[in-house]
Amino acid sequence: MTQAWILGAVSILCSGAALAQTTYHVGVGAGPEYGGLGATIERVTDNDKITVGGGLVNSHRIAGEAYGASLMYHRFDLINAASGEHALGIGIAPVGHRWRYFVEQDTAGRWHYRTDYHDVIYGGLLAYNYHPRGASLGGFHVGVSYGYGSRAGETASGLNITFGYRFN
């Protein structure tokens, strides 16, 4: 399953736009489109971008770390197309996490924490990003997104903030 997801993401990134100039960039940031606190690889044209991201969703001293990945598509020409500062996006990304741990006693009478699971909850995401220099250029951006997802009967939803920097 993981190999199929990675192969699909790479094939989307490598597919070129027919008439638009395509560039590739690396970005770092925090938010769902970065898979948590992480990095992205982006395929950018004049009107849109596709990003694949991965990062740390949560770190807990008892339950451990949970890592996530994301796949996003953004359009720059839907709001004030002349400026290129506004991007609307849709994608699949981490929208929450779940864990369960408990305390148990070993044969020597010592108590220990034991983690049962620590998972990422993936879901659909609607996003808006503001790029002060223009979405097709690098630099800082800030955004807001709403996501909803479920896993094993547990749901997660909410409003998220994204901060990031894309290198040229």
- What's the CATH code of the domain at 118? 2.40.160
Terminal-residue alpha carbon distance, the chain = 32
Query: Hunting for tokens 């002349």 — which residue is that?
Result: 82
- Token pair, residue 161, equals 């903030």
Residue 85 C-alpha from the chain's centroid: 20
Q: Is 40 left (phi over 0), alpha (psi -120 to 50) or beta?
A: beta
Please count the residues of the chain. 168
Q: Tell me the three state secondary structure of residue 26.
A: strand
CB pairs under 8 A, 24+ apart, for 67-70? 67/35, 67/36, 67/120, 68/35, 68/36, 68/38, 68/93, 68/94, 68/120, 68/122, 69/5, 69/9, 69/35, 69/94, 70/32, 70/33, 70/34, 70/35, 70/40, 70/94, 70/125
Residue ranges for the chain with pLDDT beneath 50: 1, 13, 16-18
Q: Which of 156, 97, 100 is nearest to 124 (CA)?
A: 156
- Token pair, residue 140, equals 């800082």
Residue 63: CB partners within 8 Å, gap ≥ 6?
99, 101, 115, 118
Domain count along the chain: 1
* Residue 123 DSSP one-character state: E
What pLDDT is attached to residue 4? 56
Q: Which residues span the domain enclosing 50? A: 2-166
**Contact present, 101 and 114 (Cβ < 8 Å):** yes
What pLDDT is attached to residue 15? 52
